[in-house]
C-alpha cells in the first residue's frame, strides 16, 4: 500500500526567489493573503462499463468518493510579484470487487483489484511581471498541443513550467516545458509516452501564440515536441458570427501536422477537423468533420486528452486514415425557465480505418449528457450529471457505459 499523502513540488528556481520576495516585502502581506482564495470540491463518481464483444470480460464497475482542495495565493506587491498555489487530492473506494476493477477511478493493487484510498499534494510556485506569469510545479493544462485529463474521480497533472505573456493588446504568447505526467488513477509521476506510437520521454516542450484579429475571430498557432518521439505544428481558427435575433454560428477549424523527432521511428500524420455550431435561443445544433491522413495515427501524450473536434467521451477517431462525422444537439433549459438544467446528445461515425485484418475499419459512438446544477438555496452549486455512451466497432471494443457524478464545490475563503 503506497503512502496515503505524497507531496509533489518541482525543484524550480522560483522556490528560493519566492522565499526572498516574501521576506523582503512585508508590506506585500495584504495582497499575498488578501487576494488568496480556496475551495473544497467533493466528487462522488459511479462508473459502469459493459463490454459487448464476444470473448471480452463482463464489465468494469466501481464507485468512489474524491475530494479536491485548491488554494491559490495572491501576489506580493512590487515589480515582481510572487505567489504559491496548492492542490491536495484524496480518493476513497466505496465499492469494487468481483473482477470489476479497471475503471481508472482508483489505482490498481497487486491482486488485480483497486486500492482502498490514495492521495497527493501538489505545489506550484508562481511569479508575475506586469501582465505575464510564470508557474513551476504541479500543472493542469488546457492547450491545443497538451491537455490534462479530468474525466475521472481526480484530475491528472503534469510537472513542469508554464509561461504566459500578455503584454501586447489582443496577443497572448504561451510557452512551457513538462517533465513528467501523473495519471488520473495514480500518485506517481512518470515519464511520458506517445499514444499508439510508444517511446518514452522526460521532456515535452511547446510554444505559440493566440491572436484576436477581431472581437469574434481568434487564430492560434502552437509548436509541440515530445523529445525524441514526435513534433507537431498546430493551426486553428475560432469565429463566431452574430446572425441577429438571438442566433449565432460558431466555426472551430483545426489542423495539425505531426512528424518524428529524433530516431525513435518515422511518424507521419495530418489531422484536420472542423465543427460548426448554430445556436438559437436555448438550442445548439452542431456538425463536425475530422480526417486523418498519413501513415500513422494522431500522436499525443498517453493518458492526456487530444485536442480534436471528434475526441468525445470514449473515442478519439484518430486512427490511420480515419475520417469521421459528428452530429450534435445541445439544449439549455434556462430558455424555458429552468436554469441549471442542460442536455447534450451527439453521434460520431468513423470509417476508412486502416487495420491489420482485411477490410475497412469502421466505428461509431453515441453520447448523452444530462446535467443539473442547483442555482440557489442551501444546496446552491450542487451538481448532478449522468453521462451515457455506446460504442460499436469492427476492430475495437463494443461497449455500453454509464457515469453518474455528484459534485459540490464550497468556497472556503
Residue where a domain terminates, one of 146, 174, 190: 190
Which pLDDT score, from 0 to 100, does residue 28 have? 46
Q: How much of the chain, in percent, has pLDDT values that exceed 70?
A: 93
265 & 125 share domain: no
185 & 269 share domain: no
Across the range 388-411, mean pLDDT stands at 96
Q: How far is CA 315 from CA 320, 389, 403, in A?
A: 14, 10, 16
312 & 288 share domain: yes
Which pLDDT score, from 0 to 100, does residue 9 have? 42
Q: How far is CA 368 from CA 25, 34, 358, 396, in A?
A: 53, 42, 33, 21
215 & 230 share domain: yes
Q: Is the pLDDT of residue 225 over 60?
A: yes
244 & 165 share domain: no
Q: What is the pTM of this model?
A: 0.90
Q: Is the pLDDT of residue 292 over 80?
A: yes
Which pLDDT score, from 0 to 100, does residue 1 have? 40
The boundaries of the domain holding residue 8 are: 1-190
136 & 16 share domain: yes
Residue where a domain terminates, one of 148, 165, 190: 190
Q: Is the pLDDT of residue 24 over 50?
A: no
Q: Is the pLDDT of residue 20 over 80?
A: no
- Which of 17-26, 211-220, 305-314 bottoms out in mean pLDDT, i.e. has the lowest? 17-26
Across the range 3-27, mean pLDDT stands at 41
Residue where a domain terminates, one of 130, 157, 190: 190
Helices (H) and strands (E) in the chain, counts: 2, 23
Q: What is the mean pLDDT of the chain?
A: 92
The number of distinct structural domains making up the chain is: 2
Rg, C-alpha atoms of the chain: 22
124 & 219 share domain: no
pLDDT-derived band of residue 37, with 50, 70 and 90 as boundaries? very high
Q: CA 107, CA 185: separation in Å to the nearest integer? A: 5
CATH of the domain at 137: 2.40.160.10
Q: CA 144, CA 14: separation in Å to the nearest integer? A: 26
DSSP letter at 297?
A: P
Which pLDDT score, from 0 to 100, does residue 315 have? 97
89 & 200 share domain: no
33 & 140 share domain: yes
58 & 132 share domain: yes
118 & 224 share domain: no
185 & 201 share domain: no
Strand (E) or helix (H) holding 31: helix 29-34
Amino acid at each position: 500500500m503506497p503512502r496515503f499523502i505524497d507531496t509533489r513540488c518541482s525543484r524550480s528556481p522560483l522556490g528560493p526567489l519566492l522565499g526572498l520576495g516574501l521576506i523582503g516585502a512585508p508590506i506585500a502581506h495584504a495582497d499575498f493573503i488578501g487576494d488568496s482564495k480556496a475551495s473544497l470540491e467533493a466528487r462522488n463518481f459511479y462508473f459502469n462499463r459493459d463490454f459487448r464483444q464476444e470473448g471480452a470480460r463482463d464489465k468494469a464497475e466501481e464507485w468512489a468518493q474524491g475530494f479536491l482542495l485548491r488554494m491559490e495565493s495572491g501576489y506580493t506587491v512590487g515589480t515582481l510579484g510572487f505567489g504559491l498555489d496548492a492542490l491536495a487530492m484524496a480518493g476513497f473506494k466505496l465499492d469494487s470487487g468481483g473482477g470489476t476493477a479497471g475503471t481508472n477511478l482508483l489505482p490498481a493493487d497487486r491482486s488485480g483489484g483497486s486500492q482502498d484510498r490514495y492521495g497527493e499534494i501538489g505545489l506550484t510556485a508562481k511569479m508575475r511581471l506586469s501582465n505575464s506569469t510564470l508557474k513551476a510545479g504541479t500543472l493542469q493544462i488546457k492547450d491545443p498541443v497538451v491537455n490534462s485529463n479530468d474525466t475521472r474521480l481526480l484530475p491528472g497533472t503534469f510537472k513542469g513550467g508554464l509561461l504566459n505573456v500578455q503584454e501586447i493588446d489582443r496577443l497572448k504568447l504561451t510557452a512551457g516545458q513538462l517533465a513528467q505526467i501523473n495519471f488520473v488513477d495514480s500518485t506517481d509521476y512518470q515519464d511520458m509516452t506517445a499514444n499508439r506510437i510508444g517511446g518514452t520521454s522526460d521532456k515535452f516542450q511547446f510554444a505559440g501564440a493566440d491572436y484576436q484579429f477581431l472581437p469574434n475571430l481568434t487564430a492560434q498557432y502552437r509548436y509541440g515536441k515530445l523529445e525524441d518521439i514526435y513534433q507537431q505544428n498546430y493551426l486553428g481558427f475560432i469565429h463566431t458570427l452574430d446572425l441577429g435575433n438571438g442566433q449565432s454560428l460558431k466555426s472551430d477549424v483545426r489542423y495539425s501536422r505531426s512528424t518524428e523527432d529524433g530516431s525513435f521511428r518515422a511518424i507521419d500524420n495530418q489531422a484536420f477537423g472542423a465543427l460548426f455550431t448554430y445556436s438559437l435561443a436555448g438550442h445548439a445544433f452542431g456538425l463536425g468533420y475530422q480526417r486523418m491522413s498519413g501513415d500513422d495515427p494522431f500522436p499525443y501524450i498517453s493518458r492526456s486528452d487530444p485536442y480534436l473536434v471528434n475526441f468525445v467521451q470514449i473515442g478519439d477517431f484518430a486512427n490511420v486514415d480515419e475520417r469521421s462525422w459528428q452530429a450534435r444537439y445541445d439544449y439549455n433549459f434556462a430558455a424555458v425557465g429552468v436554469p441549471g438544467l442542460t442536455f447534450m446528445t451527439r453521434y460520431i461515425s468513423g470509417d476508412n480505418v486502416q487495420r491489420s485484418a482485411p477490410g475497412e475499419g469502421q466505428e461509431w459512438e453515441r453520447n448523452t449528457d444530462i446535467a443539473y446544477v442547483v442555482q440557489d438555496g442551501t444546496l446552491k452549486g450542487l451538481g448532478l450529471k449522468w453521462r451515457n455512451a455506446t460504442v460499436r466497432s469492427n476492430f475495437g471494443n463494443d461497449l455500453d457505459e454509464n457515469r453518474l457524478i455528484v459534485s459540490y464545490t464550497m468556497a472556503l475563503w
